[in-house]
Chains A and B, each alone.
Chain A
Amino acid sequence: MTAAPLLQVEDLHVEFSTHGGIVQAVRGVNFSVDSNCTLAIVGESGCGKSVSVQSIMGLIPIPPGRISAGSARLRGREILGSNLIDGRDVRGSEIGMIFQDPMTSLNPTMTIGAQIAEPLQVHRCYGAGRAREEAIRLLDSCRIPEARKRAGQYPFEFSGGMLQRAMIAMAISCKPALLIADEPTTALDVTIQSQILDLMLDLQRETGMAIILITHDLGVVARMADEVAVMYAGKIVEHGSVDDIFYRSAHPYTCGLRSAMPVNDRSRQAELKPIEGRPPDLFSPPPGCGYAPRCPHAMNLCEREHPPEFTSGVGHYSRCWLHHEMSRQRPRELHFRAAAGEGA
């Protein structure tokens, strides 16, 4: 019997009541993540990536939001809805979080150093002086030059890349076991993105923390992830190791995403194949597979019945009827990379 994963999320359902009705933003999501491991969550805008992790962190506004079902256990203990374990808040101590826009978690009226020192004083009972020194050390370890001087500055004096580093310094200050990063580099240049991603990998190597990385950039996934969850319309439609997702994709949506992106392969001037149409409206989610209206392989069944998880390998599953053992349409063409003569 293996030990419980660091974080295990099961059957998470989240909805929002709005003027137009109830948005079913997250519709039964399962995933887990272990120490030393990076799970990437990918998918297009509005598919529920942020809401999934925000509900774990107690960050969705209730109301209009509501966690209608599910559980999230940190080392086996439920944190959904309370975020307290033995009366201690796990946010900021056990789980750190960084966002696309650093200003959503930074206070413009406080110096950077004071903001990083604060969680240390709250969660780790550091005295003011010791917390300040630790903040400077953290800024330095996040490769902020002249950390001592920078600690005394305000957020407006920092560039976007520097703010992102400062936010990482704050998120890891209490040595969290898990770092959740929601599109941490989407607003940055590739050069700065590269620096931030390297920093995250180095910190993971040093501390063994688990990372959940939300992104819509498959390049970032390829660089960072051990495991990947592909989300579509509020559900995880495929889950597997990074190689499963890139070399043995089992879901038409995953394949669609990949062929919509340019590939830097000199020998192949591949055309971009867009996914036509748009994701379904989550006010009245379809009864069957959410991808059916856009899917080139859709069968009659797909629109009516929601596909369950079909296993394609160890730790690799996809929600697609093509993988039903009785399906006539073998999903061979899904492995288009192999079909395109990889290695030939």
Chain B
Amino acid sequence: MSALVETIGLTRYFEIGRDQRVHAVEDVSLAVAPREIVGLVGESGSGKSTFGKTLLGLYRKTAGTVRYRGETLPDRYTPADFRRLSRKMQMIFQDPYSSLNPRMTVGEIIGEGLRLHTDLSKKEVNGRVSSWLDQVGLSGDHASRYPHEFSGGQRQRIGIARAMILEPEFVVCDEPVSALDVSVQAQVINLLAELKESLGLTLLFIAHDLSMVRHVSDRMAVMYLGSLVEVGAADEVYFEPKHPYTELLVGSNPEPDPEIERKRASATIQGEIPSPVNIPPGCRFAGRCPKVMDVCRGVTPELIPLRDDDRLVACHLYT
């Protein structure tokens, strides 16, 4: 498989004081093939957004490499790098309320990327803005209105149009539907799926809704405390989880089916995700893992392929 986007050992720490650093993303290697949708799941604070932003150069890398079509991207972007790369890689943000500038019209918000990164005339920009408003299911005369006049689902469509107008190849969707009602979530998901088909997009789909991620993604990556613990085909990971954490995560996911809920034993995970500050060596899940062994507390398990399976797991049960 030749990847469109690939991270190798991507790491991002935040220094928050003397000898205090948040290990937000640690040594994450993930390859995304052209036209693939990879879902990234994990509890709050596991580092999903930080990974997405570091991958796109919105945060500086602490260590590791990002490759795009085989090209190693620079550690620090110059304005020219941003100009070039933001036409290829874009991000859709979680919060449809705070991610749109309230003082700009919808047309200005959507057209901003074109104004900054291309030499198109004002008229051409406006033309594309109204065509994109149309493509995301809004109307051309919405361009002169302000974000507060729109519902959550409509604002998320505006965010999608803003990212897509640059016709990127790769888009990081950070919880694009989490803030929306169920009925509206389906509208936005179907829109993303259509755009993916028509534009040949490649997506990293970040969410904590496992059912939605399984539905949307080809492959699924599970993150815990900054590291990947399992990667594989979305259905396989969901229905036959290998890593103890994935198993508990799937077991906690409520199914909209009372019979399934009555039948299954409660598989509640104990405790909470620990703080990613100054992490001790060993498996990061050891403190909550029901299958923990002595080796887990000393040796960090690597993400390795399982035999007979197109799957990567980081757990000593499989080493």
On A, residues with C-beta under 8 Å from B are: 44-45, 159, 161-162, 189-195, 197-198, 216-223, 225, 242-243, 246, 256-258, 260-264, 266, 271-276, 278
B254 to A195, Cβ gap below 8 A?
Answer: no
Q: How far is the CB of A41 from chain B (nearest CB, A)?
A: 15
Residues of B within 8 A of A256 (CB): 183
Are A263's CB and B256's CB within 8 A?
yes
Select from chain B the residue with minimum beta-carbon distance to A219.
B254
Q: Are B256 and A258 in contact (CB under 8 A)?
A: yes
Known: A190-B210, A242-B258. A45 touches B181 (CB 8 A): yes
Q: Within the complex, what minimum Cβ distance (angstroms) separates B10 from chain A?
A: 23
Docked-complex contact B257 and A44, CB < 8 angstroms: no
What are the residues of chain B within 8 A of A242 when measuring CB–CB?
258
Decide yes or no: A275 and B238 within 8 Å by CB, A191-B43, A219-B253, A262-B211 being known contacts: no
**Cα–Cα, bound, A256→B183 (Å):** 8
A246 to B249, CA, bound (A): 24
Q: Which residue of B lies closest to A263 (CB)?
A: B256
Q: Mark B263-290, 1 if CB is under 8 A from A, else 0.
A: 0001111001100000000000000000
**Chain B residues positioned under 8 Å from A220 (CB to CB):** 254
* A243 with B181: CB separation less than 8 A: no
Q: 3 tightest CB-CB pairs across the interface, nearest first? A: A219-B254, A274-B186, A262-B215
Check if B252 is an interface residue, CB within 8 A of chain A: yes
Q: Which residue of B lies closest to A337 (CB)?
A: B257
> What total of A-B pairs shows CB separation below 8 Å?
114
Please state if A190 and B252 are interface contacts (CB–CB under 8 Å): yes
In angstroms, Cα B256 to Cα A243, docked, is: 11
Q: Per-residue CB proximity of B229-258 to A under 8 Å, as 1/0?
A: 000000100110000000011011111111
The smallest beta-carbon distance between B196 and chain A, in angstroms, is: 14
Please report the C-alpha to C-alpha distance between residue A263 and residue B239 in the assembled complex, in whole angstroms. Answer: 13
Chain A residues closer than 8 Å to B181, beta-carbon distance: 44-45, 216
Q: Interface of chain B, helix or strand or loop or mixed?
A: helix
- Known A-B contacts A219-B254, A246-B258; the reply to A198 vs B185 at CB < 8 A is no
Judge whether A272 and B256 touch: CB under 8 Å. no
Q: Which residues of B contact A276 (CB under 8 A)?
A: 187
Q: Cβ of A222 and Cβ of B260 under 8 Å apart?
A: yes
Which of A195, A216, A260, A266 is the one whose CB lies under 8 Å from B268?
A195
Chain A contacts of B151 at CB under 8 A?
278
Asked if B182 CB lies within 8 Å of chain A CBs, one says yes
- Interfacial chain A residues near B319, Cβ < 8 Å: none
A272 B189 Cβ-Cβ under 8 A: yes
Shortest CB-to-CB span from A316 to chain B, Å, is 14
Out of A45, A194, A197, A260, which one reaches B269, CB within 8 Å? A194
| CA of A194 to CA of B248, assembled, Å | 10
Q: Would you call A257 and B183 a contact (CB within 8 A)?
A: yes
Instruction: Choose among B182, B189, B268 the residue that contacts A257 (Cβ–Cβ < 8 A).
Output: B182
Measured in the bound complex, the distance between the Cα atoms of B239 and A161 in whole Å is 27
Min CB distance A208 to B, Å, is: 20
Q: Of A191, A264, A266, A274, which is within 8 A of B211 by CB? A: A264
Say which residue of B208, B214, B238, B258 sits within 8 Å of A189 (CB atoms): B208
Q: A189-B43, A191-B249, A264-B211 are in contact. Are A219 and B186 (CB under 8 A)?
A: no
- Residues from chain B with a CB closer than 8 A to the CB of A275 are 183, 186
The complex places the Cα of A257 from the Cα of B210 at a distance, in Å, of: 18
B183:A44 contact, CB within 8 angstroms: yes
A44 to B187, CA, bound (A): 14
Residue pair B272, A198 in contact (C-beta under 8 Å) = no
CB distance from A229 to the nearest CB of B (A): 15
Give, as a whole number of angstroms, the nearest-CB distance from A265 to chain B. Answer: 9
Sample of 20 more A-B contacts, CB < 8 Å, known A192-B43, A264-B255, A274-B187: A45-B152, A45-B181, A162-B272, A190-B208, A190-B249, A191-B248, A191-B249, A194-B269, A197-B254, A216-B182, A222-B261, A225-B258, A242-B258, A246-B257, A260-B182, A261-B186, A261-B211, A263-B211, A264-B238, A274-B186
Q: Which residues of chain B come closer than 8 Å to A278, judged between CB atoms?
A: 151
With A and B bound together, what is the CA distance between A276 and B187 in angstroms? 7
How far does the Cβ of B98 sit from chain A's closest Cβ, in whole Å?
16
Check B43 against A44 for contact (C-beta < 8 Å).
Answer: no
16 contacts between A and B (CB under 8 A): A44-B182, A159-B272, A191-B269, A192-B272, A194-B267, A222-B261, A225-B258, A257-B182, A260-B182, A261-B186, A262-B215, A263-B211, A264-B255, A272-B189, A274-B185, A278-B151
* Contact status B261-A223, CB under 8 Å: yes
A189 to B42, CA, bound (A): 9
Q: Which residues of A contact B251 (CB under 8 A)?
A: 194
User: With A and B bound together, what is the CA distance between A216 and B151 in angstroms?
Assistant: 17
Whether the pair B272, A223 counts as a contact (CB closer than 8 A) is: no
Q: How far is the CA of A64 from the CA of B267 in the complex (A)?
A: 45
What residues on B are CB-neighbors of A222 within 8 Å? Answer: 254-258, 260-261
| A223-B256 Cα distance, complex, nearest whole Å | 8
CA distance A261 to B257 in the complex (A): 11
Which residues of chain B come closer than 8 Å to A189, judged between CB atoms?
Answer: 43-44, 208, 273
Q: Which residues of B contact A159 (CB under 8 A)?
A: 272
Give complex CA distance A278, B255 in Å: 25
Contact of B252 among A161, A193, A258 (CB under 8 A): A193
